[in-house]
Structures are given as structure tokens and as C-alpha cells.
A and B are shown apart, each in its own frame.
Chain A
């Protein structure tokens, strides 16, 4: 049965995006979330992260005066999108939208690139890194991936 039909049956407006329903239904399986009632702003922000994560496997950032922060979601157990492109000076923010703890590490040999986040709190934790060097950098979650790029790993392509 289609989700839209189900929403209609429960009298949700199918024209409303699923993200608009977040304060109503999102993460209700997490007990506390229902009790605490996720703030609308937070839910919207999470939704933006989710949508940006799902929109493309590669995010191209146009050159320009403003350098928007690029969002990467740490889901269970992958980075979405797996590959993103930024320019020098631009930042990437990882948000743990999964149930499990994740981190962000980069192999320090041959280049100590600087990414080093020990742990994300599931569902809320974030880590932001501003890229100051150009290059292609593989990073990984040390819990669910390896420095060889197996398992939970991603790539940041940084251009000048």
C-alpha cells in the first residue's frame, strides 16, 4: 500500500512533505522523542540534512562569494552522500542521524589532514571541519569502517 494512501487514511495531507510531519511522528520509536516533542526547528534542520543527504551521491558546490556548509549524514552504517565536493575554505558538517555511535577519522599517513571526531551522539551529534587544503581525502568511521575505505567510509574532494 502506498504511503500517500496511508497518510490520507489517517487524514494527513499527502501534499505535506514527510518532513513537515516530523514533529508529529518522527522517531516516535525513541520513546523520549515523543515525550520531549522534538522542537520544530530542530526537526526541520534534521530534515534538511536528511534531504540534502539523499538528494545526490555527489554534491557540487558552485564557486562563489558564499560558501555554504555541506551536510553529510552519518547513518547506520554509511555516510550520505558518500562523496562530496567542496572548495578550499568551505566546511562540511557531519550529523549523526543514526541510532548508533559513529566517528569521523582520516588516515594520517601520508597526510595528516586534520579530520578527527571521536564520537557522535546518535540522532543529534555534529562535527564541522573547514577544509584548508586541496585534494581528495578518504575518511571513515573507525567503528564501522576501515582506513582502507571499506565499510563506513566517504570521500571529500577539495578543489582550489
Chain B
């Protein structure tokens, strides 16, 4: 099924390529680093829309800024094209206000802020990227729409390995990624509308997947994500670096913090100190409650407080739970108290956790980011040397959510 999706995506991309023209590695529009340009930044500055910046093996101590639309930046080898921040540079590659820029097949590590960062763009894609030990986020899209993060790894960041923030509708897909050893595996502040997180692994972070509402960014509250077919386990890792929010959320697999109308479907979630799947309010300058979230067909086990949990103002908020496999819940008998169809047959308890437990429980202080491990070799992009360059000029092909099944335990 996953293979079919990939084929469909590839076919769609080839269609786009045929219609708009892309660069192959033999084209004159390829800017090679270091053969043609000594640095990635020099090649990017020389590139025009449709160009491919092809980076050879090596370690590049650069902070690259991209302000040109529709270029592709690709490493020849994901594990051996390394952008090195040395904890002094801010961002590995950042795309500021440039449409359609794609970054593929390379590693960014040890940056003070972010590994790969898109901001203020329409159209983005990050594929086959590895981001390790970056001071805010690993792979990050802010105030950006129509994007994809796929086949990528984010580890060792105190905020989140993957982050999409402040977009509505986001029109974004996170597919086939791994997030580990982060404060949060995924954080999505005020990221709403047609945002799908699928077929991915979130493990050994402080918390796994955390869509959330805050006043510190625009477009609150967070709404309308689909979290489907993920493996989420052992997110209790007190050794990670962590911002305060990550400390607060620690011990939860999937935690909707002040979000509405999210669908959490067919995820396998286990081994969490607090909740496997929790739906709770969040407070900033505003109070963000939770409405209309739907938790269905997940398999949740081995949670110390509750496999499924809900803190909501009242039953009319229409948060619902159905057809999950689980052992414990707060409130008890949650699928009868808050069913997705039919009438509640158990009383509603508005704060069964209670929330204060989540907030006040003592959590380990932030760990040392420099001690976070490398992930080991990651899967390379197929045929990176010769594959055509395809900028992200159209919205992502919708992912067939209905076809995504509950993943097996590894």
C-alpha cells in the first residue's frame, strides 16, 4: 500500500516535471558544489528558477539562505553531504519567502536554531533529510503552505524534530519520517487545515506528536489535522534537551494541547509514563480548550496514567473515542462516556487526569544537546546523481488516508 502511494506520488511528480521542465544532473542548469561553486551559498545565489544545486560529498560549514523561487538543492549522498553548524551558525538551509524550493538528500547538524527551515513560502518539500542536534527545530516550516516533509529524520532538538507552525490551511503532509531524542517529536503550533502526519515513527522523545495552540504565534487555535498510521512509543526520554513545553508534555505519546477537530486514526502507541493519547486544554495568554477531536481505531497500551485521556469542559465539546484497543482510560469507560456515534452511557468527567498532574509533575531538566547521538546511516534518495529536479510548484498530492492501516509493532 505504501509502495503504491509512493508510485502515485512519483507519477504525479513526473507529470509536473513534464509540464514545467526540471533539471537533470546533465543539464546546463545544474550548479555543482564544489566543482562549479566553492560554497552552497554561492551556487544558490547563482541559481535561477528550475535549477538544481547539486552538492558533492563533504562537510560544509555554512548557513545557507535561499531567496530564489523554484530551485532544488540536493546532496549527492544523504549521509556524506553534511552541513555543519558547530553550534555557532543559526540555520543549515533556510528558505525565506521563496516559492517552491526543494531540499533533498543531505544532513544538517549542530546549528543553533534549525537544520532546514522554510518561512513565508507557498510550496516546499524536504525529502531524505537528516537533522541532528539543532537548537530549535530539526526540519521546520513556518508561515508556509503547500508542503511535504518525507523520508526524513529529525533528532536531538530541544523543541521539535519536525515542526509546522502558523498556517491555515497548511495543505501539508508529513510522511515516512523518524523523530527521536527530541523535546517533541512533532510540534505543530497553530498549524491547521489539511495537515496529515502519516506512516511515521515517533520514539524516545520527551513527547511524541503534539499539535497545540499558543498565542506566541498567529492563527490560533490549532485545528483539523489527521494523524494516521504512525508508530508512537517510549516518549519518556528525560535525557533529551528540552524547552519548557517539552518538559511539560513529557511522557505522552500523542497529545493534542488545545486543538480542535483533529482526527487520530489507526496509530500504534505504547509505553508512556502519562497518556498514550491525550486530549487536553492548553493555556497561554488565552485558554485553549478542545472540541471535536476524534480518536478512533488506535491500538494503545502500557500507559502509566491512561491509554486514552480527555480533559474537556463538557460533553458537548464533542471529543470522541471509538473502536480503539486500549486497557485504561480517564475518564473511565471513555468510549461509552464520549462515543463517536450514538448516545453516551457513562457520565462525563471534565478533568479526570487531573490536568494539574501534567503541569506540576517534576520532570528532568534539559539534557545536553551535544550528547545526543547521530542516527547512523539513513536511506538515500534513489538515483540522487541523475534524478530530475522537481521544484514544488503545485500543492501536494493528497494522501489516501483511508488506505493507511494500523502499523505492526517493529
Chain A: residues with CB nearer than 8 A to chain B? 1, 3, 6-7, 9-10, 18-19, 22, 25-35, 47, 50, 75-78, 97-101, 142-146, 148, 150-152
Contact = CB atoms under 8 A, between A and B. Distances in A.
B346 interface: no
Q: Which 5 pairs between the two chains have the least Cβ-Cβ distance?
A: A30-B244, A150-B97, A25-B283, A151-B96, A31-B247
Contact of B244 (A31, A50, A150): A31
Contacts of A29: 212, 214, 244-245, 248-249, 257, 282-284
A138 to B, nearest CB: 14
B136 A30 contact: no
A22 B217 CA distance: 17
Interface residues of B, number: 45
10 contacts: A1-B313, A27-B284, A28-B359, A29-B212, A29-B282, A31-B247, A76-B216, A77-B143, A101-B136, A143-B91
A3 B216 contact: no
B216 A98 contact: yes
A36 to B, nearest CB: 11
A44 to B, nearest CB: 12
B120 A18 contact: no
B131 to A, nearest CB: 16
Nearest to A119: B112
Contacts of B314: 9
Nearest to A148: B67
B140 to A, nearest CB: 10
B90 A143 contact: yes
B216 A19 contact: no
Interface string B192-225: 0000000000000000000010111110000000
A152 B166 CA distance: 14
Interface string B86-130: 000011000011000000000000001100000110000000000
A76 B244 contact: no
A8 B189 CA distance: 26
Nearest to A78: B218
B49 interface: no
Nearest to A51: B285
Contacts of B313: 1, 6, 9-10
A77 B289 CA distance: 24
B113 A99 contact: no
B404 interface: no
Given A27-B284, A31-B244, A99 B216 contact: yes
Contact of A75 (B217, B287, B363): B217
Contacts of B135: 101
A30 B65 CA distance: 31
A26 B90 CA distance: 29
B317 interface: yes
Contact of A143 (B113, B214, B284): B113
Contacts of B165: 76
Given A31-B244, A146-B67, A25 B287 contact: yes
A29 B296 CA distance: 27
Interface in B129-153: 135-136, 142-143
B120 A150 contact: yes
A122 to B, nearest CB: 8
A5 to B, nearest CB: 8
Contacts of B112: 101
A75 to B, nearest CB: 6
Contacts of A78: 218
Contact of A150 (B96, B166, B249, B286): B96
Contacts of A148: 67
A151 B289 contact: no
B302 interface: no
B145 to A, nearest CB: 15
Contacts of B343: none
A26 B283 contact: yes
A1, A3, A19: which has the most chain B beta carbons within 10 Å?
A1
Contact of A145 (B96, B283, B289): B96
A34 B244 CA distance: 10
B216 A1 contact: no
A27 B142 CA distance: 21
